[in-house]
Amino acid sequence: MSAVDSGTLSVMDEAEESCRRFSLVEIRRATNNFDDALIIGNGGFGKVYKGIINDGATTVAIKRLNAESKQGAKEFWTEISMLSKLRHTHLVSLIGYSDDCEEMILVYENMSNGSLADHLYKFSRKRNGNDIYHLTWEQRLKICTSAARGLDYLHNTEQSVIHRDVKPSNILLDENWIAKISDFGLSRRGSTSQTQTHVSTDVKGTFGYLDPQYFLTRRLTKKSDVYAFGVLLFEVLCSRPAVDLRVEEEQCNLAIWAQQCIKKGALDQIIDPSLRGQISAHHLKVFTAVAKKCLHNHPRGRPTMAEVVENLELLLASKGNIPQRKRTIIKNWVAKVALNYESASAFNTFDAGTVGYMDPEYLATAKLTVKSDVYSFGVLLLELLCGRKPMIFSGDEDEVNLVRWFKTNIEMGTIDQIIDPDLIHKIAPECLKEYVRIAENCVRDEGMERPLMDDVLGSLRFAMQLQEAWQIKFSEVVPTFSQQYLLQ
């Protein structure tokens, strides 16, 4: 470098602790002197080479940025600054960099399956001699969930990072198809103020993914990433880019076109043909509802990435390897109210007359109300907590009815004796206390004493926050609250 400012020196000092500073000689050796045969990516930013370091022991991806770009220099140091501080399963790891001889070179872990974009609409290309093929629906859902976890981490880390360029070409896939977010050159630290949720900045990003409010006001928020993620979800569903100038004008912008198709009830017309027969009506309804919510015109109307993660994880669980009984529970009720409240009316698979779930007030008066649903949902909460069915006729008489047994143990102060043994020591004490309070209120005998479902959902979100905070404090290997109760 010809000149090094104080900001750059600060980044170099910070990076020194967590990533390696390569000499240009080492980089040339790793790439066989920037051999074109080793190029695995090419764009306006420069070229990406497949390289080998550590005496052939480690395969890496080496990005060589165009040296003449002044903007590139700023993005180069921003990338190093961000990734030297951030570590997460779903973020690409920065191994090191080189700034020798005014070069701008970044060395990353190798992501052998390319980008999500490669597998959605770049089918003419080949990587490493292998054809790029269509992803299955389950693969796409896992990739979306992983990317959402990565964004949620960014938004909630101490640095409060806004990525600002969320798109399929920046979602990379490793050898096990694990998705990781890359390219932090445009990222910004978000506001950490309790009163101000945005940072004012020049508009940067990629057309088709830009938050309209950010574009109009220059106010960048975490919800700008959420908007871009909503576009990405539709790309995953439709296998076409966010902006396609080759099609008719009304179809050019994917986000606008997809929402128009939803209004017309013609969503089936835009789904990737290779996915037909793979997506259930339930999955399609919920997935598109999540995507549409992310694209809300006003940032306040969009979900947080934590909420997106929760929704996608539940959706993934409803098709995953979970016991049949719990899969049925998730399908009938958790999917109905916790995935997306807007689309709850689409799921009417629960039978209000099922023994064990039946509202006692309905049984006595034959009057079915929304509070009857609340009672049944309370029974579901108890099933997940206790790991048993609502009615068991083979045990002791006082344990036949789950709700009655639960209430008895509440009165006796022995609630710990009825919890599923698999959950012991995995539930935060404060979370358990809140969870039991929610369930107890839901299964009250009189409907007027039960909460509304909106209140139940709010309380469950608070319980999840308690669990997550406990896990961060004591152990990150404990399954999350939502995984523990809903994904088993």
Binding residue numbers: 63
Residue recorded with tokens 């993005």: 75
Nearest to 153 by CA among 218, 225, 219, 202: 225
Binding-site members for ATP are 63
Nearest to 380 by CA among 301, 472, 453: 453
Spell out a b/e string for 462-481, using b for 16 or more CB atoms within 10 Å of the CB, else e.
ebbbbbbebbeeeeeebebb
Among the listed residues 165, 211, 225, 373, the single catalytic one is: 165
Distance, CA of 473 to CA of 428 (rounded, Å): 11
Q: How far is CA 200 from the centre of its chain?
A: 26
For the stretch 207-216, contacts whose Cβ atoms lie closer than 8 Å and that sit 24 or more positions apart, written own/partner, are: 207/242, 207/243, 208/167, 208/241, 208/242, 208/243, 208/253, 208/254, 208/255, 209/165, 209/166, 209/167, 209/242, 211/299, 212/297, 213/297, 213/298, 213/299
Cβ count within 10 A of residue 130:
10
> Under a CB-based contact definition with an 8 Å cutoff, are residues 123 and 272 in contact?
no
Nearest to 438 by CA among 375, 351, 345: 375
> Under a CB-based contact definition with an 8 Å cutoff, are residues 28 and 34 in contact?
yes
Nearest to 18 by CA among 96, 100, 88, 121: 96
Asked if 396 is an active-site residue, the reply is no
Encoded tokens for 219: 């106010």
Cβ count within 10 A of residue 37:
7
Query: What is the separation, in whole angstroms, between the first and last Cα of the chain?
Result: 54
Q: Which residues are catalytic?
A: 165
